[in-house]
Amino acid sequence: MSRYAADAGFEVVIGLEIHAQLATRSKIFSGASTAFGAEPNVQACAVDLGLPGVLPVFNEGALKMATLFGLAINAEIAKVSSFDRKNYFYPDLPKGYQITQLARPIVSGGQVRIQVGEGDQAYQKTINVTRAHLEEDAGKSLHENFESVTGIDLNRAGTPLIEIVSEPEMASAEEAVAYARKIHAIVQYIGICDGNMQEGSFRVDANVSVREKGQTELGTRTEIKNLNSFRFLQRAIEFEIERQIDVIESGQSVVQATRLYDPQKDETRLMRTKEEAEDYRYFPDPDLLPITLSEAQIEQWRAELPELPDAKAERYQAEYGLNRYDATVLTASRATANYFEAVLSAYPKNPKLAANWVQGSLAALLNRLEIDASQSPVKPEVLATLLERIDDGTLSNKLAREVFEVLAEDTDKTVDGIIEERGLKQITDSSEIEALVDKVIADNPGQVAAYRGGKDKLFGFFVGQVMKATGGKANPKAVNEILKSRLDS
């Protein structure tokens, strides 16, 4: 909670480590399937189980996906990278070590642009990515299935991951979430990760420290592990910032440690301190040779990259005259961008109106249903028709929103069908409106006198009366004109 920190005279420093499971068919070092949700251990082959004598063989798909990510954030791709072993004992770590990249990661350097806040409060910021390296996921320890024992399922063991390490450059939970969301969007844009946080495909560790304003060196940091939703990320960081400030203000000092966020209690609790930390004994994995990548190969893969969020946002501003904020919101997820572009291809005339609706009523609907734009009950073509009816004056914005709600409820209905059956068509025939206006003037002599006496504010009252009489169907523009001519004459 940056505001809290600011009030207390502190500033916050946050760095994130994001683990993204790569969407390969097979595992990083074996030919076993990576599909989620199989029976325990049916997708763990001898290599994944770390049985004696078997050896790892590196999956080209994982290399390609990690490289695509590096290219997507304008990072440097290592021509020669290599694997190291991180040694520690845990029942769901089959070999007693994790194969990862310490000395020579595949991706180093790189930038990600984020947008924080909303509307005119929104600001943009660039976060630097230190490195992204390939590694294998561990299995799962299941504590619930049995009374007195823990069950080990190694289906997940050997699933390829990239660990994306940011510089400690985020100054608030909001910035951290914006950065995490941006990475989440990028990996899905380029199709290297399904981004499913419930299934653990995208997990975030947050390194949080605070320091008194003006301080130059960083405060002692704590690491909050395995945050698997953006809300938990936000809450965990906010809690941790307050906790650390309280510790410091009470004259104690923050202990460097790994902490866990407990969503039920909405707090972080100590997992282990630095003193208890393992000595991982990293060294080059002798079972794997250096990975060499040619410039040609890198360029061939670069050519397969789709249009990325930032480029899309630039294009929306240039082609459709959208402002930067709208353009960024519309491109924040690939699904939303695809939906927006589908609406435009069906009805290109009014991009600004389309932008407003996609960010407004549609976004609200999707939030309510907790789905993304690709699953929207109102299809892009249908929304396009609705926009057309607004532009041709058939529907006021107010009526259009009513129609939209009906469309959301009943996907079989069409825009024009609803307009018909509900008789929502606007009254644009001026003679009809003139008659109504005259009646209103006749019925309210007092107000007319007062208005003519200079009480301009009463104009709205007359408009209201006319709209009421038509059940809001009168074309507001026409009503205004006629009222004016009658009253001011």
Partner 1 sequence: MSSNSSSNDQDPTGLLNASIRDLKTRLDRGDHSPMSLSAFFAERIERLDPALNSFISTQIPEIEQTELKGDLAGIPFAHKDIFCVQQGRTTCGSKMLADWHAPYSATVHEKLAAQGAVLLGKTNMDEFAMGSSNENSYFGAVSNPWDVNRVPGGSSGGSAAAVAARLVPFATGSDTGGSIRQPAAFCGVTGIKPTYGRVSRYGMIAYASSFDQAGVIAKTAEDCAVVLNQISGVDRRDSTSSPEPVVDFTADLEKPLSGLKIGVPKQWFSEALDNRVAEQVEAAIAELECAGGTRVEIDLPDADIALSAYYLLAPAEASSNLSRFDGVRFGYRCDNPQDITDLFERSRSEGFGPEVQRRILAGTYALSAGYYDAFYLRAQKARRLIAGHFEQALSQCDVIAGPVTPTVAFKKGEHSADPAQMYLQDLFTIPVNLAGLPGMSVPAGFVDGLPVGLQLIGRHFAEAQILNVAHQYQQRVDFHQRIPPGFGGEGFGGDEHNTGGAA
Partner 2 sequence: MALTHKELEKVARLARLGVDAQALVDLAEDVNQILAHVDRLNDQRIDACQPMSHPLDQSQYLRPDEVTESNQRESLMAGAPAQDQGLFLVPKVIE
Q: Which residues bind partner 1 (CB under 8 A)?
A: 46, 49-58, 85, 87, 89, 91, 94-97, 150, 152, 154, 279, 281-283, 286-289
CB of 89 to partner 1, least distance (A): 5
Nearer to partner 1, 94 or 380 (CB): 94
d(CA 6, CA 225): 25
Please, what is the Cα angle at 100 between 95 and 102, to 5 degrees?
130
Q: Which of the choices partner 2, partner 1, none does residue 95 contact, using the CB cut-off of 5 to 8 A by kind?
A: partner 1
Closest distance of CB 333 from partner 1, Å: 38
**Tokens for 238?**
């906010």
Strand order in the sheet with 84-87: 97-100, 84-87, 283-284
User: With CB cut-offs between 5 and 8 Å by kind, which of partner 2, partner 1, none does residue 306 bind?
Assistant: none
Q: How far is the CB of 145 from partner 2 (least distance, A)?
A: 7
Q: Binder to partner 2 among 150, 215, 323, 374 (CB under 8 A)?
A: 150
CB 192 within 8 A of CB 68: yes
Contact 73, 186 (CB under 8 A): yes
Nearer to partner 2, 80 or 311 (CB): 80
Nearest-approach distance from CB 403 to partner 2, in angstroms: 47
Which partner, partner 1, partner 2, none, binds residue 50 by CB below 5 to 8 Å per kind? Answer: partner 1
Closer Cβ to partner 1, 102 or 469, answer by number: 102
| Choice from 74, 111, 145, 323 touching partner 2 (CB under 8 A) | 145
Q: How far is CA 377 from CA 381, 409, 450, in A?
A: 11, 8, 50
Amino acid, single-letter form, for residue 316: Y
What single-letter amino acid sits at 117? G
What is the dihedral angle through the alpha carbons of 422, 427, 431, 433, rounded to the nearest 10 degrees? 100
The torsion angles phi and psi of 26, rounded to 5 degrees, stand at -110, 170
Piece in contact with partner 2 (CB under 8 A), picked from 70-78, 146-154, 203-211, 395-403: 146-154
- If contact means CB under 5 to 8 A according to the sort of partner, which of partner 1, partner 2, none does residue 33 touch? partner 2
The interface mask with partner 2, positions 257-296, x = CB under 8 A, is --------------x------xx-x--x-x-xxxxx----
Residue pair 63/134 in contact by the 8 Å Cβ criterion: yes
Cβ 34 vs Cβ 48: under 8 Å: no
Residue 455 partner contact from partner 1, partner 2, none using kind-dependent CB cut-offs of 5 to 8 Å: none
Residue numbers 34-73 binding partner 2 by CB under 8 A: 39-46, 49, 51, 57-63
Non-local (6+) Cβ contacts of 183 within 8 A are 18, 20, 112, 164
Distance CA 448, CA 465 (A): 13
Q: Which does 60 bind (CB under 5 to 8 A by kind): partner 2, partner 1, none?
A: partner 2
Whole-number CA gyration radius for the chain: 29
Residue 300 makes contact with partner 2 by CB under 8 A: no
Nearer to partner 1 by C-beta: 141 or 253? 141
> What is the C-alpha separation between 403 and 416, in angstroms, rounded?
9
State the binding partner of 63 from partner 1, partner 2, none, CB within 5 to 8 A by kind: partner 2
